[in-house]
Amino acid sequence: MKKFSFYFLLFSIFFILGIGCSLQKNLPNINLSLPIDIKIEAETPKEIIIKNENIKDCQTDLFCFEKAADTCQLAKVKNSYTINNLGINLNFNDHYEIKGLVGEKCLFYMKTNTLTAKYSKEIKTLLLNQGMTEKQIQEYENVGNKEAEINYNGKDGYCFFDYTTDLKNLINHWSNNDYSSLSITDVAQCFGDLFAEQNNKQ
């Protein structure tokens, strides 16, 4: 009984946390290295755009942010949502910004402020029926959240979109609570700490 719970928890907390973040970003096995021509374009203009304070604050309104994406208008938004992955609730608190045009590409910034993991009621009931206590379950959740804090919290990255329609379409998916059917790296070239693990696999 305890052996089952132990292996189930190891699988759930450590493995699910990893694929949960992949689900959110949905990172495919493709080359995300930044082309030389984009690096050259981004060096000076990007610094100017990032420091620009004339930015539309959409607060938590993704539809407002989606409208700004239509023309790559400078904008920012906060987005909190939950993905249930095999009985683990992954709670994300993200920050997004549209940084404007760099050359002919739209520059998008995203940051995972916090990621926390919590067992669903169904999984908790299963574990309690297997003989675990509330305290033991909480301890495993704490271990998983510590893992998330180290590996995901505060990580950010940039993505270049060739077409603003692709960015608008992506945000539309998010507005409708769909974080898995369309990968950001299918429609943009991304780099930064948030995408480092995937880039290292290339």
DSSP letters spanning the chain:
-HHHHHHHHHIIIIIHHHHHHHHHH---SS--PPPHHHHHHHHHHHHHHHH----EE-TT-HHHHHHHHTTT--EEEEEEEEEEETTEEEEEEEEEEEEEEETTEEEEEEEEEEEEEEE-HHHHHHHHHTT--HHHHHHHHHHHHHHHHHHTTT-EEEEEES-HHHHHHHHHHHHTT--SSS-HHHHSEEESGGGHHHHHT-
Q: Note the pLDDT of residue 199.
A: 53
Rg (CA), the chain: 19
Q: What is the pTM of this model?
A: 0.71
Q: What is the number of structural domains in the chain?
A: 1
Instruction: Look at residues 89, 90, 94, 96 and name the one whose alpha carbon lies nearest to residue 122.
Output: 89
113 φ, ψ (degrees, to nearest 5): -65, -50
The domain in which residue 119 lies consists of 2-27+35-200
Give the pLDDT confidence score for residue 61 in this predicted structure: 97
Please say whether the beta carbons of 96 and 81 come within 8 A. no
Crossing angle (nearest 10°) for helices 134-151 and 121-129: 130
User: pLDDT tens digits, the chain, 202 residues: what are they?
Assistant: 333 343 344 344 444 444 344 434 442 222 222 233 333 234 444 444 455 568 999 999 999 999 999 999 999 999 999 988 888 888 999 999 999 999 899 999 999 999 998 888 898 899 899 888 999 989 988 988 888 888 889 999 999 999 999 999 999 999 999 988 888 988 999 999 988 765 555 5
